[in-house]
Amino acid sequence: MHVYLRTRGVPRKLDYGFLGAAPGSRWWDTYSELTATERPCLLAVTSKGRWRVLISGVPSTRTDSVGTLVYYTLVLDGSPSPAGTVGPRQDRPTVLALASRWLDDIARHPEGRGVLSELLDGLCSSAEVDRLLAARHSELTTERAELTARLATALASLSPAPSLNPAPSVPSAQDSGAPSPVLLTERWIAGRTAPGADAAFLARLSSLLSGEDGQAHLLNLVSSAEDITTLPQKPGLLAVLIEGGMVGDPAMPAEALPKLPSEVVASAPKARWRAAMVPTVLTALILLLVALVLVAGNWT
């Protein structure tokens, strides 16, 4: 698993950048109309045997030179590992624990300040952040590698939030009320505080990390199913949580989402095509028979 950390420094000239290595692409920009990375959000995509996760909007206690709150972005990517896999390179539990802690932090504080904020703020000092961002990316390679190693160790030490249980089949509600059966379908959208939605989301994320193609997103610029029409159309599973901090209702009941057009079997058009062909074929046969009769009459 690769882990990347992005934040900014105190001086205004030290804008947001990755403290260590940077991902090969800014794949999360595809979702810029659906979520703002300076606010709490989570993106997860699995395709072609590779998963990618972004957790962003994690608030820091640091501010820049004009008093604007600084935030962190975590980007992770790796290869799927089936449920039950054990070993030193088992990344699935780490990512699930990280995601559950992030959802729990958001539930406990509107800005998401909590366990992840403390972990990332304690990872490196403000002075170290400024020094790494001020240097060229080809410089301070040892310090960058050490920071990345500390980050990976810190994330691996996280335990899942006790209030969340990413059961793969039956979601357990964090709040009162029974979880909706919609949360067991392949494609759904719900507010993050809807009964069972958080646990169902983690269950879906677990499936993606185990190798199933699909998407699982916590979006902060979405308020309804109609708002995700610009979501990249990818086959497979889909789970969307409405963050609700800026727009939308975080308690919106779960709603099933339609399958992609390519996944729907178009049987009705075939039936109409066959029905239209029947009279055409009969007409052609009748004309052929008439022609044969006329030809036979001429010969006689």
- pLDDT of the residue at 261: 74
Instruction: Check whether residue 67 and residue 40 sit in a common domain.
Output: yes
Instruction: Check whether residue 279 and residue 235 sit in a common domain.
Output: no
Instruction: Check whether residue 170 and residue 242 sit in a common domain.
Output: yes
Instruction: Check whether residue 91 and residue 156 sit in a common domain.
Output: yes
Task: Provide the CB-side half-sphere exposure for 263 (13 A, CA).
Answer: 11
Instruction: Check whether residue 220 and residue 196 sit in a common domain.
Output: yes
- Report how far Cα 94 is from the mean position of its chain's Cα atoms: 16
Distance CA 251, CA 245 (A): 11
- pLDDT of the residue at 216: 98
Host H or E run for residue 42: strand 41-47
Instruction: Check whether residue 105 and residue 207 sit in a common domain.
Output: yes
Instruction: Check whether residue 161 and residue 223 sit in a common domain.
Output: yes
- pLDDT of the residue at 114: 95
- The strand pair at 214-219 and 237-242 is best described as parallel
> Which residues constitute the domain of residue 274?
265-300
Instruction: Check whether residue 66 and residue 210 sit in a common domain.
Output: yes
Strand partners, 43: 54, 217
297, two tokens: 């009459």
Tens-level pLDDT at each residue, the chain (300 residues): 999 999 999 999 999 999 999 999 999 999 999 999 999 999 999 998 899 999 999 999 999 999 999 999 999 999 987 655 555 457 999 999 999 999 999 999 878 899 999 999 999 999 999 999 999 999 999 999 999 999 999 999 999 998 775 544 444 444 446 788 999 999 999 999 999 999 999 999 999 999 999 999 999 999 999 999 889 988 899 999 999 988 999 999 999 999 887 655 433 444 443 344 445 545 656 666 655 655 555 544
Distance CA 168, CA 126 (A): 40
Instruction: Check whether residue 290 and residue 194 sit in a common domain.
Output: no
Instruction: Check whether residue 208 and residue 291 sit in a common domain.
Output: no
Q: With contact defined as beta carbons under 8 Å apart, do 7 and 151 qualify?
A: no
How many domains does one find in the chain?
2
Instruction: Check whether residue 269 and residue 254 sit in a common domain.
Output: no
Instruction: Check whether residue 231 and residue 286 sit in a common domain.
Output: no
